Amino acid sequence: YPCDVIRNFSIIAHIDHGKSTLADRLLEFTGTIDKKEKGNQQVLDKLKVERERGITVKAQTASMIYPYKGTKYLFNLIDTPGHVDFAWEVSRSLAACQGALLLVDATQGVQAQSISVFHIAKERGLTIIPVLNKIDMPAADPERVAAQIQSTFGIDPNDVLQISAKTGKGVDKVLEAILTRISPPKANEDDPLKAFLFDSSYDRYRGVISLLSIQGGVLRKGDKIASCHTRKKYEVTELGIMYPEEVPTTSLRPGQVGYIACNMKESSEAHIGDTLHRVGSAVEPMPGFKPAKAMVYAGVYPVDSNDFVKLEESIKRLTLTDRSVEVMRESSTALGQGCRLGFLGTLHMDVFRQRLEDEYNANVIITAPTVPFKVVYKDNKTVIISNPVDFPDTVDSSGRVKEVQEPVVSATIIVPEEYLGEMMDLCYTHRAEEMDHRYLDTSGTSARVILTCILPLSEVVTNFFDKLKSRSSGFASFDYEDAGYRPSKLSKMIFLLNGKPVDALALIIHRSAEQEVGRAWVKKLHKVIPRQLFEVPIQAAVGKRIIARETLSAMRADVTAGLYGGHYERKLKHLVNQKESKKRMKKFGNVDLPQEAFYDILSTK
Ligand code: GTP
């Protein structure tokens, strides 16, 4: 396949607009997969969590052959994940493409993510083919949505394709447009080998499998290659194309997209965005990529502290397939040995937790999520804090701390006009700044509005999304991107049992939320913590200030005293039980707390 018969493209869309359905249909139309074989499972969505939640987490790539006017063309579809947490993956997948299908649901119209993915694609200089999907549905309003596309992206409505990925209507036009509108990759066979690594997965037997786009030269089995990033050397043991599963070939030629296995043992060696070259002939690396940046951190502990080794092993195995998770060991007096994990966002965190539970039966306690805060000291030293325990107890002019900063995001919300008031109110209560809005369209019964603002990331990672959905009756769509750090009035809140702090429960919150959060947590602790032999004050404190307090009343001293009769055996059983549960207790001062109590405290929202 010479370059001019190759087309490398992606499908970009807001969640649920039909990306996976269209991908399947393209594979079917080109005979890459059999219609009957696949059942109703989407080929490109593989993970169980993905299927359950109906979202794509890990990008999957597939090649297909498209015959047109007597020539066979090689189309490489580079699938991108469909969630705001994974914008980073979208960006890196797009670096291997020359064009993208911008898929918009004709019943829903342009949504928040349609806009963010459009911008990523545009920045990368890709040719964009706008496609309206779901025109088979009675609620579809293609003219109106085409007008939205024109007003938002400046795209001529005549260039917009109308399809139904479900019935297959118009899908032939999509294939034709990929061929005629997207330019072939520019890569030369005689150039030195240059391969761009844009994704990797892990195979138990062959080690790391990397997906490459060949920018120049030819790659063959047995070739000795090296990474520009790590300088490590490898030998290609297998290579081929994804058709749609791995199909070995003898070579990968310029402009092609394919996979290689090359005795890479650890997935941490496969740096996304890395450039590979032939040993002995160096090349200019492709422009570097920003590495995945953790936006949300949480501590993960086993419910039974004896299971730590097992838990750590499971986490290691899972991170082999998901390298965007940051892992550090940590320990807590309350919860024992555990790991602090960094995630791209809360969905990423939920997905990881579910995989941990599903695939490894791990019973885990996850601490409240926290974002990476920045502490700037008076000598201008800056420290990023990913665990509330490490946050300074007090931040005032007398200490060494100059200021603290929190990460903020630039948020986009698209909503029907009648919910604008609700949405603005929601944003204000979550400390929004620089709020602005404009109309996306004015035609039809209910105009759509784009609301933009700057929001603290910590407000977004709690339950902002759920509130947004419920207060807009599900109509609002939301997306955000990193917008750096801003100074903020933050406090560290700690919780005391009988005067002793419980480290696993520390939180960093905005000063305006101290009262509300302090009261709510103290109430919750009061409900969950078992009564002791004596009275236990439960307090929330910021520095030396007590914000809230509840008192747990004492229980009767002898649990056996109230038992009917004097049955010795029964009494003994109780004593044994008491002893057993003692073992699982953690002591805070003289307060006993079972590990399960933490599970209850931290797993209820
Ligand atoms: P993510 O992977 O979560 O981003 O979603 P997606 O964009 O891949 O959407 P998916 O293909 O899973 O489609 C979402 C829903 O829309 C599914 O229930 C599809 O069956 C349905 N759907 C997709 N295309 C069409 C279409 O053309 N017509 C109709 N009626 N339904 C469609």
ipTM score here? 0.97
- Ligand 1 contact, 458 CB (< 6 A): no
**What is residue 222's predicted lDDT score, i.e. its pLDDT?**
93
Look at residue 575 in the predicted model and tell me its pLDDT.
54
Highest mean pLDDT among 113-122, 370-379, 568-577: 370-379
334 alpha-carbon distance from chain centroid? 28
Q: Please work out whether the CB of residue 25 comes within 6 Å of at least one atom of ligand 1.
A: no
| pLDDT for 89 | 65
Rounded percentage of the chain residues whose pLDDT exceeds 70: 85
Residue with more model confidence, 585 or 219: 219
596 to 355, 499, 585: CA distances (angstroms): 21, 21, 9
Pick from 12, 16, 29 the residue to mutate for probing ligand 1's pocket: most ligand atoms within 8 Å of its CB: 16
Q: Which two tokens stand for residue 508?
A: 């960093």
What mean pLDDT is predicted for residues 517-535? Answer: 86
Q: Is 111 in the pocket of ligand 1 (CB under 6 A)?
A: no
Q: How far is the CA of 175 from the centre of ligand 1 (A)?
A: 19
Our answer on whether the CB atom of 108 is closer than 6 Å to any ligand 1 atom is: no
Residue 137 Cβ contacting ligand 1 at under 6 Å:
yes
Tokens of 291: 């590495």
Report the mean per-residue pLDDT for the chain.
84
Query: Which residue has its alpha carbon closest to ligand 1 atom 14?
Result: 16
Q: Is the CB of 80 under 6 A from ligand 1?
A: no
Does 5 have pLDDT greater than 50? Answer: yes
pLDDT confidence tier of residue 184, bands split at 50, 70 and 90: very high
Ligand 1 centre and the CA of 134: distance in Å?
A: 8
- Cβ–Cβ < 8 Å for 437, 450: yes
Q: What number of CA atoms fall less than 13 Å from residue 264's CA on the CB side?
A: 31
- Band of pLDDT at residue 84, cut at 50, 70 and 90: low
Find the 44 Cα to ligand 1 centroid distance in Å: 13
Residue-wise pLDDT for 310-352, tens only, equals: 889 888 888 876 777 889 998 887 788 899 999 888 778 888 8
Residue with CA at minimum distance from ligand 1 atom 29: 134
Q: Using alpha carbons only, what angle is made at residue 261 by residues 260 and 262, rounded to the nearest 5 degrees?
A: 110
Q: CA 372, CA 496: separation in Å to the nearest integer?
A: 24
Q: By CB neighbour count within 10 A (0-12 exposed, 13-18 middle, 19+ buried), where does 89 fall?
A: buried
Q: Is 82 in the pocket of ligand 1 (CB under 6 A)?
A: yes
Q: Is the CB of 166 under 6 A from ligand 1?
A: yes
How is 294-325 classified by DSSP, letter by letter? --EEEEEEESSGGGHHHHHHHHHHHHHH-TT-
pLDDT digits (tens, 9 = 90+) for 28-81: 999 887 765 544 555 554 455 455 544 444 446 889 999 999 999 999 998 766
Return the percent helix, strand and coil in the chain, to nearest 5: 30, 35, 35
Nearest ligand 1 atom to alpha carbon 15: 4
